[in-house]
Structure 1
Amino acid sequence: MPVQAAQVEALRTEAERSGFVRTGRYAELAPLIAQFQARYPGAVREESFGTTPEGRPMLAMVVTRSGALTASEARARNLPVLLVQGGIHAGEIEGKDAGFIALRQMLEDKAGKDALEKVVIVFVPIYNIDGHERFHAWNRPNQNGPAEMGQRATAQNLNLNRDYIKQDAPESRAMLALVERWDPIVYLDIHATDGAKFQHDVAVQMEPLHEGDAALMKLGQGISDELLGQLRGQGSKPLPFYPTFLKRDDPSSGFADNVYSPRFSTGYFQLRNRYSILVETHSWKPYGERVQIARNIIVDLAGMAARQGARWLAEAKAADARAAQGAPLQVVLDWKPTERFRTIDFQGYAYTRTPSEVSGGTWTRYDDRKPQVWKVPLYDELVPAVSADAPAGGYIVPAAYAAQVAALLDLHGVRYERLQQARLQAQVESFRAQSVALAPTTFESRQRATVTGAWAPDTRDLLAGSLFVPIAQPRARLVVTLFEPLGPDSLLSWGQFNSSFQQQEYMEGYVAEEVARVQLRDPALAKAYQQRLDSDPAFAASPSERLKFFAKRHSSAEHALNLYPVVRVEK
């Protein structure tokens, strides 16, 4: 075998050598990256960016023919950086194999070389490494290959694609540090779907498209259209929405479009005025076919970045500048589809739904030998479910919470200042929860909280050491998302302030009985008490709730109970 052919052969993955029956283990990465470096000196560099809880180095491969193999060089040269991520869910591992194939081919052929002259690619083959090494043949029973694969969660049983905001996993913190260092203009996150059997082979979603900076959304639509068009030209059947049935396991129920919240990669990066693209190859397509589709997307996106990346960067920097000016800002914190739908021709397969003597439910069976067009509803009109107008000034985190919140803000690259002197009786807006619901079970290691309430004018003593987090900064949307309590991915919603909703002081019943009789001398209060008795049978039947009516009106009541610690300021 000629030397050059032997060198290229050494760059083939275990997946390729096995005919895409298998995928390689973590041990494949370091030697393979070393082979890339030996074959393409000056165009490839390994970067270790963290360590997993089980002690495995987290590896990235930096690839470019521009000479800018470090983040500082890429920034100085104003080159677009693409971060290509595989294996955030380690059972959905085609991104790993696709990335090595795509980069090898780009380093070898002329079109790829030309693109790499103008683009830097930071390739993370496996994000969830510890989960990847929990290899098993049936970790993904609803998936067609490879023979063995990793699992969705990490060794700490955390889902990294629910962790972009709260940053609980060590892997998440390492990844965000990598992102902060390289500042990729596009973050490409490669997965495989769950769900039904149908002909469509990939779903591609991106943001900013539905939400975010207006100019970036307009540009994002063009990126999405071009990427989907190139996939169709390559023979794929791409979808611009994630194909989850409205009614589980019922194809006739149709689909609803969605906007991902920022716990997901697809919802997070628009808060930084950068693009994220979610790729979901269809799990029932053969593994080799899924790898090829992911490879096509990587190569297509790199080519687009080479042609258009300068404009992408310019628009992103302009969005940063607009946010830094502190202009009035409304942020949509959650979305929902309306009742309007359109009927689409969805390329599925023939199927039957029959009663099951095993489960007692309905059994759906697909016949993938019989292609069939499903005429089903698509609910793709999306409207805000929760929105917030940003304060003109920003948010104040009290000194008692400053250390824990500052650590998270540092991870996210959010700017803040520490108050050097106390500001007494400052004019602020406070949020007191009218109702609080703490989740009965944990979710991703957190007890989530859901509250109702509203901001209202207030005065507050702001102690030295408190954090002022200004709105006037490039990541203004991220600031609002973190601190607006009604958002599904706010720090409050993730349980960061649950102690604020826990009563610590109590009034003994015999004392409350005496207090009640004193308070009932007030005719207005006595009237309110009687109205509550008449209108609320549960209240009337509960001696403890009746006494709480008076206790919470006493001067000894906990003023801070249900009071969100963070306040808003207009200056």
Structure 2
Amino acid sequence: MTTLPTFAPNFTTPYESGNRNQTTSWSDCIRFYQELAQAYPDVLHFVEIGRSDAGRPLHAGIVTADGEFDRERLKAQGRPVFFNNNGIHPGEPEGVDGCMALVRDFCLQPERRAALGKTVFLFIPLYNVDGSLNRQNTSRVNQEGPESFGFRGNSLHLDLNRDFIKCDSLNAQAFNQFFSAWSPDVMVDTHTSNGADYHYTMTLIQTQTDKLGYGLGPFLKDQMLPAIYAEMAERGWPTCPYVNPIKDIPDHGIEDFLETPRFSTGYAALHHTIGFMPETHMLKPFADRYESMRALVETVLNFTVANATSIQRLRAEAREAASVNKEVAVHWTADHSQPSQFLFKGYEAVYHPSTIGQYVRLSYNREQPWEKTIPYFNHFIADISVKQPKAYVVPQSWRAVLERLLWNGVRMQQISEDQVMDVDVYRITGVTSRPHAYEGHLFHDDLTLQSHREQVKVEAGDYLIPLDQPQARYIVETLEPQGHDSFFRWGFFNSCLEKKEAYSDYVFEDTAAEILRDEPAVRVAFDAWKQENPALLHDQTAVLDFIFARCQRFIEPEWNRYPVLRIN
């Protein structure tokens, strides 16, 4: 039997023991932490928190300065929690290797451990387990190293950084429960970026500050981000906002990335967690990406430790404010009328004819660096807001929605007996969906609604979900259909969009004439439709479908009726 070498006593990581152009394998990564936890049980607790879709274990670790690992006791003590997620895209692995070294240093260096104070360092070492085992060196087309790495898709061919709300993967289901149970104050989710060429090794996506809102947004924008940028510059890794050009090159300006809840930082915002998604630059050497990533994680951790009291207070205030009945934003858009400025270091953009096609291609000339102020569009405004209800009612039949709410710590109660409630009901009046599947769903890009008051019978066993609870923001942004990543947009209620009954045209032709006689509203709508669509009058199906869909005689009450009810 082959005996694997041990990492003890110095616990040098695979990255450190090689040529600095290697990333660990999943098996070596997990074995490293297991041996480290066995050697330092009073510093590191390493556990399995779930399974991947291919049946492999998903792990997490906890580091504290005093050896307390029980979550309930830590929460009762009000301990700050810093969370580092790694390897969601295994082809972007520098965070995986950097986290291994940082946790090792907590174990081996008492002064570093003591600097944590009361802060809990929580981490997932390698989130996309299945993708990490699909190991090669070709899937990251333009990336400089490492020599071999994992693949973005998991075993279901899903991008897990689009899955935090819909939870198609077992990974996301475990993550939702893990995250909501710990409720971290700050999260860093490590990545590598594609895109334009520029000087910086490190770029940074943060929870969009206007969307984060409450007191947390201004704190992040005015205090936390300036401190992070300053410390990163002092460490020798000057950092810029994620390079998201509004046109083809950064020269024209860059815009904050709107990280909706399908992404880790947007999901974190639903829990009032300050989230960061550092993106190292693909064209920089892997060793530089590793060093800058470790510097970024340590920088954000240092700020969290030093400012934990303020962050925790602001989160508590945000949770309280979100639970109050008021007008709330569920959809955001960039405001280009209010740009700020950023002193950016770029390279000259060059346009010249392609050698393989009849078009002009873009390249960057690193022999022509420049530094100048460019527009930075980091102000966002709410373009859709709703009046927050006192509660929602979700019928018990919508199990997939209810279980996701429960995974996120939502408090709900079952209705004890059948009753009639006076509620607000949405009807879907228009839906535009993507023409092709997106992460396993036909995502609804746009929709229009009508809301009206109605007396509706709710049944014993249906769920009443009050909004006077800490998870109010998560509830509103997933159950309001127009939210960026609502359950409706992801297709959890698609069956409501289907009319179940049909007609036989040779019989319905006479009935349609009666409907036009007896229902004036249908007659008016039909006359207008005829004026707008004269060519369709030759199409019997189009004519009869129009009348059938709008008549009251054969109405299907559940068709286009959103089943989640609002109690005001």
**Structure 2 CA distance for aligned equivalents of residues 519 and 63 of structure 1:** 71
**Structure 2 CA distance for aligned equivalents of residues 175 and 364 of structure 1:** 40
Structure 1 residue 104, shift from structure 2 partner: 2.8
Structure 1 residue 131, shift from structure 2 partner: 0.4
Structure 1 residue 451, shift from structure 2 partner: 2.0
Q: Could you list the per-position Cα deviations for residues 246-294 of structure 1 after superposition, in whole angstroms to 9, with x for gaps in the alignment?
A: 345x454432223311111111112112221111111211111111111
* 1:233 match: 234
Q: More displaced, 299-308 or 20-29?
A: 299-308
**Structure 2 CA distance for aligned equivalents of residues 443 and 492 of structure 1:** 14
* 2:49 match: 49
Q: More displaced, 215-224 or 530-539?
A: 530-539
**Structure 1 CA distance for aligned equivalents of residues 360 and 375 of structure 2:** 21
**Structure 2 CA distance for aligned equivalents of residues 11 and 295 of structure 1:** 17
5+ unaligned residues in a row in structure 1: which ranges?
A: 1-5
3-state DSSP class of the match of 1:116?
Answer: coil
* 1:441 match: 436
* 2:527 match: 530
Q: Could you list the per-position Cα deviations for residues 383-426 of structure 1 after superposition, in whole angstroms to 9, with x for gaps in the alignment?
A: 223222211x221112332x2222111111111111111112x2
Q: Partner amino acid for 1:383?
A: I
Structure 1 residue 336, shift from structure 2 partner: 2.8
* 2:427 match: 432
3-state DSSP class of the match of 2:115?
Answer: helix
Structure 1 residue 156, shift from structure 2 partner: 0.8
Instruction: Give the number of aligned pairs.
Output: 559
Q: More displaced, 538-547 or 291-300?
A: 538-547
**Structure 1 CA distance for aligned equivalents of residues 387 and 149 of structure 2:** 45
C-alpha distance 436-538 of structure 1, shift in aligned 2 (>3 A)? farther
Q: Could you list the per-position Cα deviations for residues 27-64 of structure 1 after superposition, in whole angstroms to 9, with x for gaps in the alignment?
A: 11233113423543411121111121223221222212
Q: Partner amino acid for 1:239?
A: C
**Structure 1 CA distance for aligned equivalents of residues 254 and 208 of structure 2:** 21
Structure 1 residue 115, shift from structure 2 partner: 1.7
Cα pair 2:245 2:253 within 8 Å, conserved: yes
* 1:559 match: 557
**Structure 2 CA distance for aligned equivalents of residues 218 and 384 of structure 1:** 16
Please point out which of 488, 493, 501 is paired with 1:497: 493
C-alpha distance 520-299 of structure 1, shift in aligned 2 (>3 A)? closer
Q: Partner amino acid for 2:489?
A: S
Cα pair 1:119 1:306 within 8 Å, conserved: yes
* 2:85 match: 85
Cα pair 1:416 1:468 within 8 Å, conserved: yes
Structure 1 residue 373, shift from structure 2 partner: 3.0
Q: Partner amino acid for 2:237?
A: S
Q: Partner amino acid for 1:79?
A: R
Q: Partner amino acid for 1:319?
A: A
* 2:100 match: 100
* 1:313 match: 312
3-state DSSP class of the match of 1:140?
Answer: coil
* 1:360 match: 358
Cα pair 2:244 2:257 within 8 Å, conserved: no
Cα pair 2:210 2:217 within 8 Å, conserved: yes
Paired residues for 1:278-317 under 5 Å: 278-317=277-316
Paired residues for 1:21-36 under 5 Å: 21-36=21-36
3-state DSSP class of the match of 1:165?
Answer: coil
3-state DSSP class of the match of 1:373?
Answer: strand
3-state DSSP class of the match of 1:564?
Answer: coil
Please point out which of 506, 511, 514 is paired with 2:510: 514
3-state DSSP class of the match of 1:453?
Answer: strand
Cα pair 2:350 2:363 within 8 Å, conserved: yes
Paired residues for 1:125-524 under 5 Å: 125-207=125-207, 209-221=209-221, 222-240=223-241, 242-248=242-248, 250-324=249-323, 326-339=324-337, 341=339, 344-373=342-371, 376-391=374-389, 393-401=390-398, 403-424=399-420, 426-449=421-444, 450-522=446-518, 524=520
Q: Does 1:123 align with 2:123?
A: yes
Q: More displaced, 205-214 or 556-565?
A: 205-214
Q: Partner amino acid for 2:426?
A: F
Structure 1 residue 97, shift from structure 2 partner: 0.8
Q: Partner amino acid for 1:83?
A: F
Q: More displaced, 333-342 or 228-237?
A: 333-342
Structure 1 residue 358, shift from structure 2 partner: 1.0
**Structure 2 CA distance for aligned equivalents of residues 374 and 537 of structure 1:** 58
Q: More displaced, 477-486 or 368-377?
A: 368-377
3-state DSSP class of the match of 1:457?
Answer: strand
**Structure 2 CA distance for aligned equivalents of residues 8 and 303 of structure 1:** 28
**Structure 1 CA distance for aligned equivalents of residues 473 and 366 of structure 2:** 45
Q: Partner amino acid for 2:282?
A: S
C-alpha distance 331-19 of structure 1, shift in aligned 2 (>3 A)? same
Please point out which of 542, 545, 555 is paired with 1:545: 542
Q: Cα RMSD (Å) of the superposition?
A: 2.3
**Structure 2 CA distance for aligned equivalents of residues 171 and 487 of structure 1:** 24
**Structure 2 CA distance for aligned equivalents of residues 448 and 395 of structure 1:** 23
Cα pair 1:106 1:116 within 8 Å, conserved: no
3-state DSSP class of the match of 1:521?
Answer: helix
TM-score by length of 2: 0.92
C-alpha distance 316-488 of structure 1, shift in aligned 2 (>3 A)? closer
C-alpha distance 384-538 of structure 1, shift in aligned 2 (>3 A)? farther
**Structure 2 CA distance for aligned equivalents of residues 271 and 150 of structure 1:** 29
Cα pair 2:86 2:189 within 8 Å, conserved: yes
C-alpha distance 544-194 of structure 1, shift in aligned 2 (>3 A)? same
Structure 1 residue 134, shift from structure 2 partner: 0.9
3-state DSSP class of the match of 1:281?
Answer: strand
Q: Partner amino acid for 2:92?
A: E
**Structure 2 CA distance for aligned equivalents of residues 116 and 380 of structure 1:** 32
**Structure 2 CA distance for aligned equivalents of residues 215 and 13 of structure 1:** 40
**Structure 1 CA distance for aligned equivalents of residues 342 and 41 of structure 2:** 50
Q: Partner amino acid for 1:472?
A: D
**Structure 2 CA distance for aligned equivalents of residues 495 and 480 of structure 1:** 17
Identity of aligned pairs, percent?
A: 26
5+ unaligned residues in a row in structure 2: which ranges?
A: 1-5
Q: Partner amino acid for 1:234?
A: R
Structure 1 residue 9, shift from structure 2 partner: 6.2
Cα pair 2:330 2:484 within 8 Å, conserved: no
3-state DSSP class of the match of 1:399?
Answer: coil
